[in-house]
């Protein structure tokens, strides 16, 4: 496995793959790797890609300094997991490489306005400007590629797809299904910050989604159900919404077709998110879709 930490050899490696007739599959991460990340690596391998995994904790997407300071970092374990998973190049750029002016503001920002505003954007001002800016930079450095993102961060996936479309990057964005533990909890680096009791309470997010999907209720009823499930487990609810899959605007009770149920909450000071597809059929009754 190649280990790279500077932009020039990272760019050169990706180009060498293409020059040899290969296709680059890039998996952007902030480290603290778990099997959800590794499932993206497996998907890239299944597509025949040479896998470049990036590991960079991006300060520009954190509005809370304590959240940035407390974000889990496991560099030695990450390298071992990546190598065992068959990652071809592990890229861990320095802060100085990515944002040379830090801690002064970086003057260039990429913003995907309407898609970044609701949900996580409402509770974390500037978050998606930081996400869009770092993703744009790593895609520019890597060059033509497939880019793999997990559906657990569904709003991020929608933002990145729009960024790639609007800026005409030669990149195919591949969304990959959320991985869950045996009790339904979505795998996340932030789970490592929770106590056993916190993990038990955090499972209310996936229970809330399942309850909404099985209720056959209208969007307004699904919102109430999700909030009640999380409240009853002691989760500090940030939002519980049902939105359009493309625009992320809230669905009204008259809407038909596919939507996305989106939840977020705080457990033991840790912000957690989850989501799932939800379907409203033409007859007014809801079909529950499996995970």
User: Rounded to the nearest 10 degrees, what angle do helices 219-232 and 204-215 cross at?
Assistant: 150
Tokens 């990706």 sit on residue: 14
Active-site residue, from 34, 37, 102, 254: 37
In the annotation, is 37 catalytic? Answer: yes
Sign of CA dihedral 237, 67, 196, 291: positive
| Token duo for residue 17 | 């793959």
Q: Is 106 helix (H, G, I), strand (E, B) or coil?
A: coil
Nearest Cα neighbor of 239 from 180, 160, 176, 155 is 155
The vertex-30 CA angle with 26 and 33, nearest 5°, equals 85
Burial 122-160 (b: 16+ CB within 10 A, else e): eebeebbbbbbbbbbbbbebbbebbbbbbbbbbbbbbbb
Catalytic residues: 37
């Amino acid at each position: 496995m190649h280990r790279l930490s500077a932009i020039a050899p990272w760019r050169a490696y990706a180009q060498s793959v293409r020059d040899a007739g290969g296709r680059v599959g890039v998996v952007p991460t902030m480290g603290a790797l778990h099997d959800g990340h590794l499932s993206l690596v497996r998907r890239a391998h299944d597509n025949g890609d040479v896998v470049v995994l990036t590991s960079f904790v991006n300060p520009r997407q954190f509005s809370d300094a304590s959240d940035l300071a407390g974000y889990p970092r496991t560099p030695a374990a990450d390298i071992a997991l990546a190598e065992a998973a068959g990652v071809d190049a592990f890229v861990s750029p320095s802060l100085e490489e990515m944002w040379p002016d830090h801690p002064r503001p970086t003057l260039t920002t990429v913003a995907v306005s309407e898609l970044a505003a609701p949900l996580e954007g409402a509770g974390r001002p500037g978050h998606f400007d930081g996400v869009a800016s770092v993703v744009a930079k790593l895609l520019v450095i890597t060059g033509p590629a497939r880019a793999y993102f997990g559906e657990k961060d569904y709003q991020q996936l929608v933002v990145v797809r729009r960024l790639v479309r609007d800026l005409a990057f030669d990149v195919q964005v591949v969304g990959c299904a959320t991985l869950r533990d045996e009790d339904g909890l979505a795998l996340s680096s932030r789970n490592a910050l929770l106590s056993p009791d916190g993990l038990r309470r955090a499972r209310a997010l996936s229970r809330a989604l399942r309850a909404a999907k099985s209720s056959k209720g209208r969007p307004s009823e699904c919102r109430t159900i999700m909030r009640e499930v999380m409240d009853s487990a002691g989760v500090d609810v940030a939002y519980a919404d049902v939105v359009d899959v493309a625009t992320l605007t809230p669905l009204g009770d008259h809407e038909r077709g596919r939507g996305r149920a989106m939840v977020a909450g705080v457990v033991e000071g840790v912000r957690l998110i989850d989501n799932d597809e939800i379907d409203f059929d033409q007859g007014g009754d809801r079909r529950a879709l499996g995970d």
